[in-house]
Structure 1
Amino acid sequence: MSGLLEGQVALVTGAGGGIGRGIARRFAQEGAAVALHCRTAVTAADEAASRIRESGGRAVVLRADLTDEDACRRVVAEAAEWGGGRLTALVNNAGAQPTRELAGMAAAQWRAVVDTNLSSVFACTQAAVEVMRERGGGGSVTHIASIEATRPAPLHAHYAASKAAVVTHARAAALEYGRSGIRVNSVSPGLIHREGLEEAWPEGVRRWEGAAPAGRLGRPEDVGDACVFLASGLASWVTGHDLVVDGGVSARPGW
């Protein structure tokens, strides 16, 4: 690897899931010390952190429920303390994607997705920026959104709306934090492989592979590569941008 993130301290939320683990692995491979946040997937996060340490990297697992604003602030503070008082990169990856028809959706079900996917992004970003400003030197924040921010799927209204808001939050935050040397962007993945997906949704996987010019599902590391780029010096003049990582599906006409 090229050491693009050498010397950085990063917090990746939702790092117990497949995409989060892929992001954390790529950050560690490029030289960053990585704090892996999880809520319930402790075993998976621990295994990912152990593999990073076995490869010579630095990693720690932090547990928190990010629907709680105080917990968001606490996990950011813990990551910075572990990093010697520094936090240079935040990846807001934690999220939920339940399915529900709008007609039968309760307000509480709507709020549960918005709190997980959007409110946690607001609170974690606010806390991380405070740390970055205190230490000086700037930093980067990357939100994991989705191509559903602009191309929603049936039964995903709450999810798609929250991800559209995540994209716009990144752009708004980029405007306000840029003078502090803090860049804020989003990454919008398409369908990313996870264990058992082909068995659980064979027709959907076939449709995706047929529609994608790249001819395959995404990998967690594909999202990780995009996040590494946005956190690195290669993206020093990139802020307020949504980087689509979907194998070209969004380039297809909708008619």
Structure 2
Amino acid sequence: MSGRGLLEGQVALVTGAGGGIGRGIAMRFAQEGAAVVLHCRTAVEAAGEVASRIRESGGRALVVRGDLTEEDVCRRVVREAADWGAGRLTALVNNAGVQPTRELAGMTVAEWRAVVDTNLSSVFACTQAAAEIMRERGEDGGSITHIASIEASRPAPLHAHYAASKAAVVMHARAAALEYGRFGIRVNSVSPGLIHREGLEDAWPEGVRRWEATAPAGRLGRPEDVGDACVFLASGLASWVTGHDLVVDGGVSAGPGW
């Protein structure tokens, strides 16, 4: 694997690794030397393809499957990562999430809960399970990173449930950083902007054009841009960084909102 070896010797669990951002994070972790556990719920084939690419490049990868809206499944997935045999679990990236669209006025409690359970409750349960394992390491407990969104502070229409869940994810990271810091566990969040995925330009051409015109960087984000941020936060370069939300949006949040 190419890279500078920033995560050499680490074992990392990436949830939602069958999706675009998750795949980008998993590949960047592997390129920097980590053994990677790729979690997926239904995208087994996609996660398996990434795992194969990692192995073909000389890295180590394992695929685990489970519905993280269930607390016991969160604990099982974390335990499988810890018991894999590639080393001690040192990093968790809580990336699994959903982003449906629904008008707030017509949203049901069931629809609200489906988003909150996936985007927030799974973060709570996986973090708690991973921290129990990491705290045994003493001063160098490990790193936990939540994937939030710039919608945590800049909501979009039809995304009330999503934006609220991501705002809570950011605050959970800060609260967890306070409580787990004494065990050597750092907890941060990464808030991406619009990240490219296959077919996006065809499905939402006007949105892509607006983004590219607004972003100082002049382009959409790439999954590896988010992966780079997660690598930094999991590495020794961020040994004194905790409770922080790292915005990765090409500068969109720096612009005026009018």
- Normalised-by-shorter TM-score class: over 0.9
1:221 is aligned, of 215, 221, 224, to 224
AA in 2 matched with 1:63: R
Matched, 1:212 2:220: no
AA in 1 matched with 2:12: A
1:181 is aligned, of 181, 184, 191, to 184
Matched, 1:195 2:161: no
**How far apart are 1:237 and its partner, in Å?**
0.4
Change (3 A) 1:199 1:127: same
5 Å matches for 1:105-124? 105-124=107-126
Distance in 1 (alpha carbons) for counterparts of 2:216 and 2:230: 22
Match of 1:145 in 2: 148
1:127 is aligned, of 116, 119, 129, to 129
TM-score, length of structure 1 as denominator length: 0.99
AA in 1 matched with 2:83: E
Match of 2:172 in 1: 169
Deviation digits for residues 53-90 of structure 1 (CA, Å, limit 9, x no counterpart): 00000000000000000000000000000045611000
Match of 1:92 in 2: 94
Match of 1:63 in 2: 65
AA in 2 matched with 1:46: G
TM-score, length of structure 2 as denominator length: 0.98
Match of 2:22 in 1: 20
Matched, 1:39 2:6: no
Match of 1:156 in 2: 159
Structure 1: gaps (5+ residues): none
**How far apart are 1:106 and its partner, in Å?**
0.4
Distance in 2 (alpha carbons) for counterparts of 1:47 and 1:64: 18
% identity of equivalent residues? 88
Structure 2: gaps (5+ residues): none
The alignment yields a C-alpha RMSD, in angstroms, of 0.7
**How far apart are 1:152 and its partner, in Å?**
0.2
Alignment partner of 1:88: what SS? strand
C-alpha contact 1:143 1:166 (8 A) present in aligned 2? yes
**How far apart are 1:134 and its partner, in Å?**
2.4
Alignment partner of 1:141: what SS? strand
Alignment partner of 2:6: what SS? coil
C-alpha contact 1:27 1:228 (8 A) present in aligned 2? yes
Deviation digits for residues 199-225 of structure 1 (CA, Å, limit 9, x no counterpart): 000000000000000000000000000
AA in 1 matched with 2:190: V
AA in 1 matched with 2:6: L
Distance in 2 (alpha carbons) for counterparts of 1:169 and 1:65: 21
C-alpha contact 2:38 2:63 (8 A) present in aligned 1? yes
C-alpha contact 2:9 2:87 (8 A) present in aligned 1? no
**How far apart are 1:135 and its partner, in Å?**
3.7
Alignment partner of 2:172: what SS? helix
Count of aligned positions: 255
Distance in 1 (alpha carbons) for counterparts of 2:113 and 2:171: 18
C-alpha contact 1:94 1:116 (8 A) present in aligned 2? yes
Distance in 1 (alpha carbons) for counterparts of 2:29 and 2:85: 14
C-alpha contact 2:35 2:86 (8 A) present in aligned 1? no
Match of 1:51 in 2: 53
Deviation digits for residues 105-133 of structure 1 (CA, Å, limit 9, x no counterpart): 00000000000000000000000000111
